[in-house]
């Protein structure tokens, strides 16, 4: 057993480009780099046990990214097989549903020409393409630390392995590796842990609106053939959420009798008694959807945060030695409920600027061209037209906000807006009201057939962490958790966490905060929503976390 004092130095490897995260953004960047500069060395690190293990999305994808990157996909056996055949949008009441005619919706919301996929499977396909181009992919390795040299990002270090819960070095202790690079691309997705550090360090979010987030929960069902409508895409808003809470559902039929059902709750909700997980379970009992699942089997569950700030909240993307791409930068289009196309397009755009810089013999400088290019690119055009939808929803509630947001998207489609660019207001950590000002919400017990509890759900995410390791959910000030999170806000972490990680356990009249870190599905909601910003998510040992087969 070693002490921290005898810690050996890390070994270092040099690359032209290091990419953190094998999602659509990171893989698209890696492929484009090799297409443009085959002789440059490119490595991708991925914290999931394999590519796709931590990917959770809807997903209806706009194929514009794939078409630009690997146009041959249409002639191959790519996992993009179910074309959208019907597209429905409903406003729900507690028992009724009002279908909005497609002609009323802004054309940008149409799903004609899009495909229903498992984004995890698409990433596995892209990883094969990347490896065929000579990209090195290291799954099971979390980038835990940013490396700096003379104020410039010089690469990342993977986390040490084999550290016990109490900090001691076990017999299996292995030092992390330094992956040094001329340019480092952060492709960690929504609320990336290193991206957050870099945004702070380089002041990238100065003069921007705060980033906004939602939490998306998802189940995958195998349904009976009579309940299956291949290619059907259905979205709802309204019930079970009240008018002041933003969010909605998605339900997609694809593949071999598979139905994806999911629910998004905007993380600027105010009532600390609200549980996104329970709202999702409640949603499935609505008469519009419940029969879809009768006789079916739930086969997977998971959750992940998504970015919602859009145009106003995208931070400065370039800093000395690196850039942000994909949802680490916040390129999600909320009304379209799509971000994977922009993730890929931003990876490709960044790669073009990196390749040009390398060709010019540059290294570790700031890729200002990428920063200057995105707003005028298809990504910028995609986000510009919808920029007021989220702020209007937050300010005016679902009924008036979505109606006015729809009107604004129409005018933007015609080339103008009467509203300019609206602000988002407070960050999501600041929107909870004290519990004393809110109504407790009573949720029904699950029936085990259509509705479920958290723990049986987490089981279906195949989440696995080495148990004897330091807790990767860092509570900066434990006393604040008691005096504020518990005493003022009635312990919202026990409700917003979709995996039952946080619990307040009463012991002799004293509440004790319990963190079941091994259940964490890496959604990042606690890092976003804690009312005191007292919780920081850091990567656990690489390979830990969910093992989504096809989410």
Q: List residues binding ligand FAD (CB under 6 A).
A: 20-26, 45-48, 54-61, 119, 142-143, 187-189, 192-194, 216, 218, 262, 304, 306, 326-328, 332, 337-341, 343, 539
The nearer residue to ligand SF4, 232 or 497, going by C-beta atoms, is 497
Contact indicator for 551, 218 with CB cutoff of 8 Å: yes
The nearer residue to ligand SF4, 275 or 412, going by C-beta atoms, is 275
DSSP annotation of 400 reads H
CB of 257 to ligand FAD, least distance (A): 19
Residue 142 interacts with ligand SF4 (CB under 6 A)? no
CB of 216 to ligand FAD, least distance (A): 2
Rounded CA-CA distance 419/401 in Å is 13
The nearer residue to ligand FAD, 341 or 454, going by C-beta atoms, is 341
Q: Decide: helix, strand or coil at residue 464.
A: strand
Radius of gyration over alpha carbons of the chain, in Å?
23
525 binds, among ligand FAD, ligand SF4, none (CB under 5 to 8 A by kind): ligand SF4
The nearer residue to ligand SF4, 352 or 527, going by C-beta atoms, is 527
Q: 125 pairs with which residues across the strands? A: none
The nearer residue to ligand SF4, 424 or 524, going by C-beta atoms, is 524
Rounded CA-CA distance 82/8 in Å is 51
User: Pattern of binders to ligand SF4 over 503-542, x per CB under 6 A?
Assistant: -----------------xxxxxxx----------x-----
CB of 31 to ligand SF4, least distance (A): 29
CB of 134 to ligand SF4, least distance (A): 34
CA-to-CA dists, residue 248 to 56, 266, 391, angstroms: 17, 9, 16
Residue 475 interacts with ligand SF4 (CB under 6 A)? no
189 binds, among ligand FAD, ligand SF4, none (CB under 5 to 8 A by kind): ligand FAD
User: In 10 A of CB 40, how many CB atoms?
Assistant: 18
The nearer residue to ligand SF4, 125 or 496, going by C-beta atoms, is 496
CB of 505 to ligand FAD, least distance (A): 30
- Ordered strands of the 60-61 beta sheet: 60-61, 115-116, 82-83
DSSP annotation of 78 reads -
Q: 252 CB contacts (<8 Å, ≥6 apart)?
A: 58, 59, 60, 116, 232, 233, 234, 259, 260
CB of 490 to ligand FAD, least distance (A): 26
User: In 10 A of CB 77, how many CB atoms?
Assistant: 8
Which candidate, 508, 511, 517, places its Cα nearest to that of 536?
517
Q: 228 pairs with which residues across the strands? A: none
CB of 3 to ligand FAD, least distance (A): 27
523 binds, among ligand SF4, ligand FAD, none (CB under 5 to 8 A by kind): ligand SF4
Rounded CA-CA distance 70/55 in Å is 20
Rounded CA-CA distance 281/279 in Å is 5
DSSP annotation of 227 reads G
The nearer residue to ligand FAD, 189 or 210, going by C-beta atoms, is 189
22 binds, among ligand FAD, ligand SF4, none (CB under 5 to 8 A by kind): ligand FAD
501 binds, among ligand FAD, ligand SF4, none (CB under 5 to 8 A by kind): ligand SF4
Restricted to residues 490-509, the positions that interact with ligand SF4 (CB under 6 A) are: 497-499, 501
The nearer residue to ligand FAD, 147 or 404, going by C-beta atoms, is 147
Q: Are strands 97-99 and 86-92 parallel, antiparallel or unpaired?
A: antiparallel
126 binds, among ligand SF4, ligand FAD, none (CB under 5 to 8 A by kind): none
CB of 377 to ligand SF4, least distance (A): 31
Rounded CA-CA distance 411/418 in Å is 8
Rounded CA-CA distance 181/346 in Å is 20
CB of 488 to ligand FAD, least distance (A): 29
Residue 473 interacts with ligand SF4 (CB under 6 A)? yes
Q: Are strands 213-222 and 297-307 parallel, antiparallel or unpaired?
A: antiparallel
524 binds, among ligand SF4, ligand FAD, none (CB under 5 to 8 A by kind): ligand SF4
Q: Decide: helix, strand or coil at residue 297.
A: strand
Rounded CA-CA distance 156/148 in Å is 9
Rounded CA-CA distance 329/463 in Å is 26
The nearer residue to ligand SF4, 213 or 374, going by C-beta atoms, is 213
Contact indicator for 298, 219 with CB cutoff of 8 Å: yes
Cβ-in-10-Å burial (0-12, 13-18, 19+) of 348 comes to buried
CB of 522 to ligand SF4, least distance (A): 6
Where does this chain bind ligand SF4 (CB under 6 A)? 473, 497-499, 501, 520-526, 537
């Amino acid at each position: 057993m070693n002490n921290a004092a005898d810690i050996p130095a890390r070994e270092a490897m040099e690359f032209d480009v290091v990419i953190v995260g094998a999602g659509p953004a990171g893989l698209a960047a890696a492929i484009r780099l090799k297409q443009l500069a085959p002789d440059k060395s490119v490595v991708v690190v991925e914290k999931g046990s394999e590519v796709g293990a931590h990917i959770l999305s809807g997903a209806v994808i706009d194929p514009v990214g794939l078409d630009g990157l690997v146009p041959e996909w249409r002639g191959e056996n790519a996992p993009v097989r179910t074309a959208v055949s019907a597209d429905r949008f409903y406003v729900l009441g507690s028992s009724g549903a009002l279908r909005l005619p497609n002609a009323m919706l802004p054309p940008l919301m149409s799903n004609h020409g899009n495909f229903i996929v498992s984004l995890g499977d698409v990433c596995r396909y892209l990883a094969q393409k990347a490896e065929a181009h000579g990209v090195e992919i290291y799954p099971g390795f979390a980038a835990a630390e940013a490396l700096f040299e003379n104020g410039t990002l010089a690469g990342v270090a993977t986390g040490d392995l084999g550290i016990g819960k109490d900090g001691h070095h076990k017999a299996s202790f292995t030092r992390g590796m330094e992956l040094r690079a001329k340019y480092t691309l952060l492709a960690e997705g929504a609320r990336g842990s290193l991206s957050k550090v870099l945004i702070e360090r380089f002041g990238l979010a100065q003069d921007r609106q705060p980033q906004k987030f939602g939490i998306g929960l998802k189940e995958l069902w195998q349904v009976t053939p009579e309940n299956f409508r291949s290619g059907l895409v259905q979205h709802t808003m309204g019930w079970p959420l009240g008018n002041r809470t933003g969010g909605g559902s998605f339900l997609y039929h694809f593949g071999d009798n598979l139905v994806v059902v999911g629910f998004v709750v905007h993380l600027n909700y105010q009532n600390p008694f609200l549980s996104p997980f329970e709202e999702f379970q409640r949603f499935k009992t609505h008469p519009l959807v419940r029969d879809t699942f009768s006789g079916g089997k739930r086969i997977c569950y998971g959750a992940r945060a998504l970015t919602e700030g859009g145009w106003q909240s995208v931070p400065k993307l370039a800093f000395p030695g690196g850039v942000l791409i994909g949802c680490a930068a916040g390129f999600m289009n909320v009304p379209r409920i799509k971000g994977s196309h922009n993730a890929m397009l931003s990876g490709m755009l960044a790669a073009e600027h990196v390749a040009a810089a390398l060709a010019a013999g540059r290294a570790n400088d700031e890729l200002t061209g990428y920063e200057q290019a995105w707003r005028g690119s298809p990504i910028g055009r995609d986000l510009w037209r919808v920029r007021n939808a989220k702020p209007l929803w937050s300010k005016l509630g679902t009924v008036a906000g979505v109606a006015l947001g729809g009107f604004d998207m129409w005018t933007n489609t015609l080339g103008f807006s009467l509203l300019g660019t609206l602000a988002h207001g407070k960050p999501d950590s600041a929107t909870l009201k004290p519990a004393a000002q809110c109504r407790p919400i009573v949720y029904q017990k699950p029936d085990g057939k259509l509705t479920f509890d958290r723990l049986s759900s987490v089981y279906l995410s195949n989440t696995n962490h080495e148990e004897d390791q330091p807790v990767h959910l860092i509570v900066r000030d434990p006393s604040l958790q008691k005096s504020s999170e518990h005493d003022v806000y009635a312990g919202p972490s026990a409700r917003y966490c979709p995996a039952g990680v946080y619990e307040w356990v009463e012991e002799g009249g004293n509440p004790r905060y319990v963190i079941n870190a091994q259940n964490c599905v890496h959604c990042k909601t606690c890092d976003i929503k804690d009312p005191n910003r007292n919780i920081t998510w850091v990567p656990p040992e690489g390979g830990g976390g969910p093992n989504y087969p096809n989410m």
